Structure 1
Amino acid sequence: MKGEEDIPRTPDQSETLDEEDNLVLDLTGFQLHDLDGVDIPPTLIELDLTTNRLSALDSRISALSRLRKLSLRQNLFDDSGIDPISSFDAISGLQELVIRDNKLTKIPDVSIFKSLLVFDVSFNEIFSLNGLSKVSATLKELYVSKNEVPKIEEIDHLINLQILELGSNRLKVMENLHNLTNLQELWLGRNRIRAVNLCELKCIKKISLQSNRLTSMIGFQDCIALEEIYLSHNGISKMEGLSTLLNLRVLDVSSNKLTAVDDIETLTKLEDLWLNDNQIASLDGLDMALAGSRNHLTTIYLERNPCANTSNYSIMLRQFFPNLEQIDSNIFC
C-alpha cells in the first residue's frame, strides 16, 4: 500500500508558474513520473524539475526556444534518458543545465548548447571526463563532484571557466589546468592527490584540497591572488610556501600533523585561521608568527592541540589578537 509521500502531487499551475508571461515553471518536489498532466508554456525561460522521478525527457521541452535554464536535478535519468537532449536544436540557447544527482555514467553530449555557462553533473556515476571536449568554451562553471573520475582531462579549451568542482572523485594528480587562466575557484576535496600543482593559475582565489594525501604545502607560492585555502585532513607537517600570499583571508590547515605555526607572519589580511586537531605544543611565539594579521584576525581555532591546555589559554589569545570574535568552536568573544 502506498504511503502518502509516495503519491505524486498534481501541480497547481497557479502556484508553479511565474505570473509574468509564464517565464518560469517550478515543479520541484512533486514526485512526478512524467509530465503528461502538466501544461508547459512555450514562453518558458526557466524550467525546474528538481526532485521528481523522471527518467525520460518530455518531447515538449525540445520546442522551448526561449529556455535558458533547465534543472533535472535529483531524478532517475540514466544515459539513455538524457541522450535525446543532444538533438533538441530549438533550445540551443540554453545557458544553465543541471543534471545533478541522477544515474549518468558518462558526460552527455551537450555540444548544441553554444552559450552554456553552467553545467552540473555532480552526484552521478560518471567514470571519465571524456565528452567534456564537446562542451562550449563559453562555460564559466563546471561541477562534476561525487563521481568516479580518475583523471582531469578534456578541459583545455574551457578558457572562460571560473569555477571547477571535482571533489569526491578518484583523482591522484592535479594536471591539465594550464589553460584555465580565468579560473577563480578550484574544489578538489576528497580525492587522492599527493602534491600541489596549480599550473601557474594566477587568478585563482579559492582552493580546496581537503581530505587528500598531501604531505607538503609547497605549490601555492606563485598564486598570489589566493584568498582562501582549505587543506584540512591531510598529512602536512610544516607550514610553508605561504609568505607570498598577501591576499589570503582564510587558511584552514586543521587535522594535519603541524607542530608549529610558520611562514605567515607577512600576511596582513588573514581573518580566519583554523589550526585545530594538530600537534602544536605551545602558544609561545604565536603572536610573532601572526604579527602581520594581529589586528585583522577575527577567528582562530586551536582546540585539540596540546597548546589549548595552556593556563589562561583564551585570555592569552585575546591579548595577542585584540579583534578576535571567535576562539575555537565554543568560545565567542
Structure 2
Amino acid sequence: MQKTALLCYLLFACLCIILAQNDGYKMPRRGRRRMHYRGLRRGSLRNRRPNKQPQAKSPIPTIPVPSIPLINTDGEITEVIDSLIGLDGHESSYSVLPGKEGRCFANGIIMYDKAAWSPKPCVTCLCSKGKVLCDETLCRPLTCHRTKIPEGECCPVCTDIVLSSISLGDASEFSGDSPEPNDLSVKAMQKAHTPDERDVLFKKEGQLLEKKKNIVKENRKRKRIKSQGEGIKQGHENDQKDEESKRKMEEEKRRAYEEEELRIEKELNKKEEESEEKENEHDENEDEDQVEEDILRGDVFRMPPRFPIPEPYAEIPPLPTGCSILDNTASCINAKLTQIPPIMDAQLTSIEFVENSITSIPDDAFNGIPNLERIDLRKNNISSSGIGPQAFKILKNLKRLYLDENALVHIPPGLPSTLEELKINENQLHAIDENSFQDLKSLVTLELEGNKLSEANVSPLAFQPLKSLSYLRLGRNKYRTIPQGLPHSIEELYLDNNQIEEITEICFNRTKNLNIIDLRHNKLEESRIAPLAWINHENLESIDLSYNKIYHVPSYLPKSLLHLILIGNQIDRIPGFVFGHMKPGLEYLYLSFNKLDDYGIDPVSFYGAYHSLREFFLDHNQLKSVPLGIAEMRSLSFLRLNNNKIRSVPPERICKTRHNHEDHEEEDDDDDKSEEEHDYEDSQLEHLHLEYNYINTRDLSPYAFSCVRSYSSVILKPQTIK
C-alpha cells in the first residue's frame, strides 16, 4: 500500500513539473510574428468579405507529434520532449557513464547533462541526468495516392501534383499537404492541356523543389552542429571566458539574422496580401495549419533564398551562337542570322551583324538597345519593304549606319537627325526624292556607290537638306553629268566609274568649298570641260581625270591646284604655260600610261611649276630623251622615266651643274677647279627610275646623276635590249 501511494506521489510530482514547464513555454519569435500578423490579416479579410461563407474542408486527423528538443545559444532546453513523461517514447539502451553524475556515454562520445543529438535520421536523443532518452519523428498522414520519401527526409511527400514554386521568402519545409487553392503552379498545370506542356511544368517545378529541400537540409545540419557544440561546451568549465566571447558573437549573429529574417518576412507578407486582394480566393484555415506545422517542426533557423528565381517567360534570351559582346559592342559576324536577335542591354553602343541573312528591320528591332551609336548591317539581304517606318525612331544617339551590300531600292525612312555617317554602297538604289534625306542636318559622310543612280532618278533637291555634308561618294552609278543641287558644304566629291561626258560652267558654282574631285573612269574630253568650270575655285587642290578620253593636258585648271592625275589617257602634248597661273604651284603631276613623245613637250611646258613640283611621273610613254626643264625643278624628289625609249642621259638634263664660264675659258685654271663645280645646287632628288629604256650604262657621264642624294636610289636595270 505504501509503495502504491509513493508511486502515485511521484507520478503526480512529475505531472506538476511538466504542466509548469508547459505554462512557461514560449513560442519562437518567428512563430509569434507569423500568428500575430496572419491573425490580423484574417481579421481584415473577414471585414472585407463579411458575406463570404467559408468553404467546407475535410478535417485532417490530428495525431500527437512529439516535439523536438531545441537548444538555444545559452545552452538551455527551450522545449521538453514527451519521452520525459513516457509518451510514445522509450528509454534508450545507452549506458550511463559511471563515476560522473549526470553524464551519458553514447557512440564513444561523452555527452553532458541536457545535451541533445541525432544518432540517426529521424531520431532525436537527450541526455537527462545520466540517461539517454530518444524520440522518433512521427509523420503526418497523407491523403494523396502517390507518395515518396525524399533523400535526407524523414516523412514522405505527395508526388501526385508538383508543389508550387518557391517564392522569394518561403523556405518552409515541404509536407504532404495538397497545394494551396491559389497556387500559381497548379493554375499553370491546369492550363496545360497537352502532356508535353505538363512535362515541362513538372520539370521546372521539380528543379525548384530540389533547391528548397537543399535549403531545409542545410538549416537542419546547421542546427545539429550548433546543438552538439553547445552541449559539449557546457562541460568545459576552464574555457568559460572563451565560451562567453563566442556566445556573444553567436548572439549578435542570431540577432542580425532575426532582423534580416523579419525584414524579408514583412516584404513577403506585403506581397502575399496584395496577391490575396487580386485573386480574392483564399482558404482561411490554411494559414493556421501552416503556422501549426512550423511550431511542431521547431524550424526557427530557416533561411529564405537570397535571390529570386525568375519566371521562364521573364528570362532574357541569350545571344545566338557565334555572337559575343565586348567593350559595349555586340558582334555577330557570319553567325547565320535571319533576323536581328532580341537584345536587352542599354549599355551597348555598337552592333556588328555583318555577313548574315537578315532580311528585315522591324519597328521594335532596337527597343532593348536604345543607346546605339553605330549599326553595321553590311552583307545581308535587307530589303526596303522589310524596314519598318519606326525602326530607327528610338535611336536618339545613332551616328553611324552601314547598310552596304544589301537589297535596298530606296533610302530607309525615318533616319534619326543625329546621323553623321551613312553608307549604302552596293545596293539597288534607283531613286532619291527630295524627302529622302529630310532632317539629316548633321550628316557629314554619305556613300552611295555601286547603285543605279543617275540625273534622271535623283531629284535636284535631294541633297539640299544635307547642310553639313562634306564627303560624298557616288561612284559606280550611271551619271552622265555632274549631279545638281550639291550642298555648299561639300568638300570631297567622288564620281568615278560613271558615264560623265561634260563639265559645264555651272556644275560647281555652288560648291566653292570643294577640295577633291575624283572623275576617274568616265568619258571626258578636254574640249568638253568649260573654261570657267573650276578655274576660280580657291580651295580645289586635287583633280583626278585618269582613264578618260583626254588628248592634251586641260587648260584653265584651278589656280589652287596641287595634285593633278592624268594616268591612262591618250595625252600626246603638254601645252606651254599650262601651269603658269597656279599659285602656290603644282606639286604632283602624274602622266603615266599616255602617248607623250619628244615633240609633245615644249621648253615652257612646265613654266610655273619649276619651283613647286615634287613628284613627276612620265613612265610608260614614248619619250626618246629626257624632257627639257627637269633639271630646273629645284623641289623635285621623285622622278619616273621608266618604260620609255630613252637612249642617253646628257650630264645636265637631270642634274644641272655649276660652271664658272668665265674661268672655264682659261685652260690654266682647269687644274685648280674642284669637284664642287659639278655639284647640284640644293638638290632634293631622292628617287630616280630609268629602267626598261635603251640606255647603255657604260656611256653615262659620271656627273649625270650627281644631284641624286643616294646613288642606290637610281634604278637603271634592267634595260631593254634592241
The answer to whether the 8 Å contact 2:552/2:575 transfers is no
The answer to whether the 8 Å contact 1:299/1:324 transfers is no
1:138 aligns with 2:418: yes
The answer to whether the 8 Å contact 1:53/1:76 transfers is yes
TM-score, structure 1 normalization: 0.76
Q: CA deviation at 1:263?
A: 4.3
Q: 1:329 to 1:211 in 2, by over 3 A?
A: farther
2:474 and 2:544 map into 1 onto residues whose CA distance is 14
1:94 aligns with 2:383: no
1:138-192 residue CA offsets vs partner (Å, 9 max, x unmatched): 1111100100101123113211111110010000125311121211011000100
SS at match of 1:306: coil
1:72-128 residue CA offsets vs partner (Å, 9 max, x unmatched): 12222222xx43x73432312211111011111227332221221111101112122
| Residue in structure 2 matching 1:310, options 618, 623, 631 | 623
- 1:128 maps to 410
| Residue in structure 1 matching 2:338, options 55, 70, 80 | 55
2:403 and 2:631 map into 1 onto residues whose CA distance is 45
Q: 1:202 to 1:54 in 2, by over 3 A?
A: same
1:210-249 equivalence runs, <5 A:
210-218=496-504, 219-238=507-526, 239-240=529-530, 241-249=533-541
Q: CA deviation at 1:318?
A: 6.8
1:308-333 residue CA offsets vs partner (Å, 9 max, x unmatched): 32334566567468446365999955
| Residue in structure 2 matching 1:158, options 440, 443, 447 | 440
SS at match of 2:439: coil
1:261-301 residue CA offsets vs partner (Å, 9 max, x unmatched): 33445523x3321112222221232xx22235586544322
Residue type of the partner of 1:254? S
State which structure, 1 or 2, has the greater radius of gyration over its C-alpha atoms.
2
SS at match of 2:446: strand
Structure 1: stretches of 5+ with no match in the other structure = 1-33
The answer to whether the 8 Å contact 1:232/1:255 transfers is yes
- 2:276 maps to none
| Residue in structure 1 matching 2:580, options 282, 286, 291 | 291
- 1:282 maps to 573
Residue type of the partner of 1:92? P
2:471 and 2:641 map into 1 onto residues whose CA distance is 26
Residue type of the partner of 1:281? D
Q: 1:87 to 1:222 in 2, by over 3 A?
A: closer
The answer to whether the 8 Å contact 1:297/1:323 transfers is no
SS at match of 1:97: strand
2:498 and 2:552 map into 1 onto residues whose CA distance is 21
How many aligned residue pairs are there? Answer: 288
Q: CA deviation at 1:194?
A: 1.2
2:377 and 2:418 map into 1 onto residues whose CA distance is 18
| Residue in structure 1 matching 2:429, options 144, 149, 173 | 149
1:328 and 1:78 map into 2 onto residues whose CA distance is 53
1:1-333 equivalence runs, <5 A:
35-36=320-321, 45-59=328-342, 61=343, 63-79=344-360, 82-83=361-362, 86-106=364-384, 108=387, 109-129=391-411, 131-132=412-413, 134-153=414-433, 154-173=436-455, 174-175=458-459, 176-218=462-504, 219-238=507-526, 239-240=529-530, 241-268=533-560, 270-285=561-576, 288-293=577-582, 296-307=585-596, 308-312=621-625, 316=629, 319=632, 322-323=635-636, 325=638, 327=640, 333=688
The answer to whether the 8 Å contact 1:275/1:301 transfers is yes
2:324 and 2:487 map into 1 onto residues whose CA distance is 47
Residue type of the partner of 2:417? A
Moved more, 238-247 or 200-209: 238-247
1:259 and 1:68 map into 2 onto residues whose CA distance is 52
2:641 and 2:542 map into 1 onto residues whose CA distance is 15
1:320 and 1:292 map into 2 onto residues whose CA distance is 17
Q: CA deviation at 1:50?
A: 2.9
1:185 and 1:330 map into 2 onto residues whose CA distance is 37
Q: 1:291 to 1:90 in 2, by over 3 A?
A: same
1:39 and 1:74 map into 2 onto residues whose CA distance is 15
1:192 and 1:304 map into 2 onto residues whose CA distance is 26
Q: 1:186 to 1:88 in 2, by over 3 A?
A: closer
Q: CA deviation at 1:248?
A: 1.9
1:233 and 1:329 map into 2 onto residues whose CA distance is 24
1:40-88 residue CA offsets vs partner (Å, 9 max, x unmatched): 58xx6222323433333332x2x11011111112222222xx43x7343
Residue type of the partner of 1:50? I
Q: 1:54 to 1:289 in 2, by over 3 A?
A: same
Q: CA deviation at 1:244?
A: 2.2
Residue type of the partner of 1:137? S
- 1:30 maps to none
C-alpha root-mean-square deviation of aligned residues, in Å?
2.9
The answer to whether the 8 Å contact 1:265/1:291 transfers is no
The answer to whether the 8 Å contact 1:280/1:306 transfers is yes
More helix by share: 2
Moved more, 226-235 or 272-281: 272-281
The answer to whether the 8 Å contact 1:157/1:179 transfers is yes
Structure 2: stretches of 5+ with no match in the other structure = 1-318, 597-620, 645-686, 689-722
Q: 1:310 to 1:242 in 2, by over 3 A?
A: farther
The answer to whether the 8 Å contact 1:163/1:185 transfers is yes
1:2-56 residue CA offsets vs partner (Å, 9 max, x unmatched): xxxxxxxxxxxxxxxxxxxxxxxxxxxxxxxx72586758xx6222323433333
2:524 and 2:322 map into 1 onto residues whose CA distance is 57
The answer to whether the 8 Å contact 2:322/2:333 transfers is no
Higher relative contact order (CA closer than 8 Å, sequence separation 6+): 1
Q: 1:146 to 1:317 in 2, by over 3 A?
A: farther
- 1:31 maps to none
2:332 and 2:324 map into 1 onto residues whose CA distance is 13
